[in-house]
Amino acid sequence: MKMKKICIENKKAGAWLSGTTVFLIANVVFFGIIFLYVSKFGTGADLLEKTYARQIGLTIDSLRPGTEVNISLDELYGHKNPRFNGEPVIIDTSKNLVTVILDGGSTGHSFYFFTKLNDGSDFIEIKNNILRIRTEA
């Protein structure tokens, strides 16, 4: 009889240990996700990507033929991840899409614009942290 009682007590102890282990693992996962979220959005890079993509896209939409616009990208270059070697602003004229990326591991933020830019006659250049867009008349 004593043997059966010991086995039953061990099952209860095992169930308690299992429940505690699951609880601890769930807490570690939860706080890990919270930490990653805060570390990504705490720098403000996500908001900056979204703001600049929208600003550049709306600026392109408001351009009239024969207009030249210069946009300073100093703030973007200041927040850009030093390990990311690419340009923070990518303008795809075939898809009418502006993409801003500050971290090489993310996809960045994109914004569609409606104005059709021509690859040959319109001019888009990033030089000395300044985005220059010129449309031809």
pLDDT by 10s per residue, the chain, length 137:
455 544 445 555 555 567 788 889 999 999 999 998 887 777 778 889 999 999 999 998 988 888 889 999 999 888 888 888 888 999 988 898 999 998 877 788 999 998 877 666 678 888 889 999 888 87
Quick one: which H or E segment has residue 13?
helix 2-41
pLDDT of amino acid 34? 93
pLDDT of amino acid 111? 94
- Decide if 92 contacts 109 (C-beta within 8 A): no
Q: Residue 114 carries which DSSP code? A: -
pLDDT of amino acid 14? 56
* Residue 74 in tokens: 């100093």
Write down the residue that tokens 């600026």 correspond to: 59
pLDDT of amino acid 13? 53
Burial classification of residue 79, based on how many CB atoms lie within 10 Å of its CB (0-12 exposed, 13-18 middle, 19 or more buried): middle
Domain coordinates in residue numbering, the chain? 1-42, 45-134
pLDDT of amino acid 12? 56
pTM exceeding the 0.75 threshold for the entire prediction = no
pLDDT of amino acid 112? 93
